[in-house]
Structure 1
Amino acid sequence: MSAVRTVLGDVDPGELGVCDAHDHVFFTSPRLPGEELNSVGAARAELSAFRAHGGGAVVQWTPYGLGRRAADLPPLSRETGVRLVAATGLHQDVHYAEDVLAALRGRAAEVFVAELTEGIGTSGVRAGLIKVAGGFHGLDAHARWVMSAAAEAHHATGAPVAVHLELGTGAPDVLELLCGEFGVPPHRVILGHLNRLPDPVAHRQAAASGCYLAFDGPSRAHHATDWRMPDAVRDLVEAGHGDQVLLGGDTTTAAARSVDGGPGMPHLLRRVVPRLALAVGEEAVRRVLVDNPARAFAADWR
């Protein structure tokens, strides 16, 4: 049966509830010195605030080697009542020391599969999706290597594949590689950061493939395109793609957390959702927050 693989075990997709489809409970990167998301207390407070505004689940897109703190996720989920989904996979190479990547050469798919089926490190926490990343309007050798391993892991496990699109670009190349060359079914692919490229033609072309489109980023930083997100979602809904849209916050820095004075995860439900409802209506918003993530992150696990 189809299930969402959370840090507390597999659950029926209908149990996710209102879902932040792309965020970070923990995240550290050499590209963001001093802004690490590594405080358990801050994570607990942020998840509790999200829960207080009606949130039911958060999908953490933090992949291998970037401070996932997998062992801390189950107690946080129990304490806050928020279901959490962890990720395996790899980000762009600029987030890693070369020795970290060198240690994965020839065995990345094996590591991804192990983290999806056995657990992350010694934590026993199984990942529920594979995170990969493209480049700006293209794919470099690192991205192609990681996506090849991700596709292999998908075929072995059934796990969904979530893609960081750099500034929202490169979706055609990603889909040609993942779905065309590597045979990942489009409905198993989630394209992230579409809000950063407010091109309705590009959005509709990506949606026509059958993949999911995530609009994620209002709590990460201010983007000049944030105000265009409701119109972009309305365009997709009117084009018949409302069942493919996801919404997330993508909190990647400590300063962006609501408990540290930023918008954080609650902003998604407090401010973004009411604004989106004005554009597409309450029923479409319910699909985006509840129905669509329940399908996007469920898998017939192997």
Structure 2
Amino acid sequence: MIRTVLGDIEPARFGVCNAHDHLFLRSPRFPGEALDDVDAALAELNSFAALGGQAMVQWTPWGLGARLADLPELSERSGVHLVAATGMHQTKHYDPTELASVRDDLAELFVHELTAAPVRAGFIKMASAFHHIDEHASTVMSAAAHAHHATGAPIGVHLEGGTAALAVLDELAGTHGVPPQHIILGHLNRFPDSTIHRHIAAAGAFVGFEGPSRANHGTDWRLLDSIAALVESGHADRILLGGDTVLASARSTADGPGMVYLLRTLRSSIERELGSDVATAIFITNPANAFSARWHD
């Protein structure tokens, strides 16, 4: 089942999915750019739905203004299935006092948000550091793995600049025993090394690409090449694609590309260059598989 904010659903009902995005997000790293407007979030979802979008996964974890209580109504009003995240991002996105208040109880926090919160999360997010797993990432990873084993929830990883992917995969799958099919490694388009992408896919984990990139992550021109390389090596079933809208100015309602870019631009490019079967895998089949779990609450 896939755990949405309105309850668990069969994967076959999930539909066309934006596998990595944000309706709400607040971070000191983005002053003046908080995603905190319910009406703007609804407009973005409605625009996505008008192009055939049926599901969206919000990667905003604990403590970053995810506004979980608002998600069920937004899902009902837009008709878009929403999956929320628990977990924790890098320390730079938090107030140190806020972090200290939960550091000793992370696993319990994640399990609670997955199984007992008024609006339940459907996966766990963590983040590595640039080219390595720092102490904070290691702590959160251990808690995420514990929560996975307690609940069955998938784990999604923010890879800083797309780096440290193999180290994270080895740590999660090897040291912590998380099955690779329940691991999603995000932002790999920011480190467009097809050899690494193939290794991740061959291991059974999901390869997350997000686009359009912000200016400082200018790898969109490599996106189709990276997707094509995985398809040609037989791994079309491991690819996920999301919009990753993290700034208010990046929304389509604010003259940014927004969520609609995925379906208005990228989907047609993928269909034209790689075929409709690949597009169906990326936008429908793969997200349904990546975010489904045998939940044990």
The answer, yes or no, to whether TM exceeds 0.5 is yes
The separation in 2 between residues aligned to 1:192 and 1:279, in whole angstroms, is 23
Alignment partner, residue 55 of structure 2 = 57
For residues 296 and 168 of structure 1, the distance between their equivalents in structure 2, rounded to whole angstroms, comes to 19
State the alpha-carbon separation in 2 of the partners of residues 16 and 156 from structure 1: 24
Instruction: Indicate whether 1:113 and 2:111 are aligned.
Output: yes
Unpaired segments of 5 or more residues in structure 2? none
What amino acid is the match of 1:108? L
The residue that corresponds to 1:72 in the other structure is: 70
Aligned partners of 1:34 and 1:240: how far apart in 2? 43
Corresponding pairs, count: 296
Q: TM-score, normalised by structure 2?
A: 0.98
- DSSP-derived class of the 1:107 partner: helix
Deviation at 1:198, TM superposition (A): 1.0
Q: In the alignment, is the contact (CA less than 8 A) between 2:240 and 2:287 conserved in 1?
A: yes
SS at match of 1:264: coil
- Partners of 2:147 and 2:243 lie apart in 1 by 26
- What is the match of residue 231 of structure 2? 237
1:41 correspondence with 2:39: yes
Contact 2:17 2:283 in 1 (8 A): yes
Distance 1:186 1:83 in 2: 25
Identical-residue share of aligned pairs (%): 57
CA deviation after TM superposition for structure 1 residue 103, in Å:
1.1
Contact 1:220 1:250 in 2 (8 A): no
Q: 1:212, 1:244 within 8 Å by CA — same for their partners in 2? A: yes
Give the aligned partner of residue 22 of structure 1: 20
* Aligned 8 A contact 1:258 1:266 in 2: yes
Q: Which runs of 5+ in 1 are unaligned?
A: none
CA distance in 2, matches of 1:159, 1:103: 24
Match of 2:141 in 1: 147
Q: Is this contact kept in 2: 1:193–1:217, CA < 8 A? A: no
What is the TM-score with the length of structure 1 in the denominator? 0.96
Alignment of 1:214 with 2:212, yes or no, is: no
Q: Do the aligned partners of 1:217 and 1:248 also contact (CA within 8 Å) in 2?
A: yes
Q: Aligned with 1:268: secondary structure?
A: helix
User: How far did 1:149 drift?
Assistant: 0.2
2:80 to 79, 82, 95: 82
User: How many angstroms apart in 1 are the aligned matches of 2:217 and 2:103?
Assistant: 35
Provide the secondary structure at the position in 1 that maps to 2:2. strand
Indicate which of 265, 269, 292 corresponds to 2:259: 265
1:193 equivalent in structure 2: 187
SS at match of 1:84: strand
Residue deviations 1:53-110 (CA, integer Å, cap 9, x gap) = 1100000000000000001000000001011000000001110111111111221000
**Partners of 2:30 and 2:211 in 1: CA distance:** 16
Question: Which secondary structure state, in structure 2, belongs to the residue aligned with residue 298 of structure 1?
Answer: coil
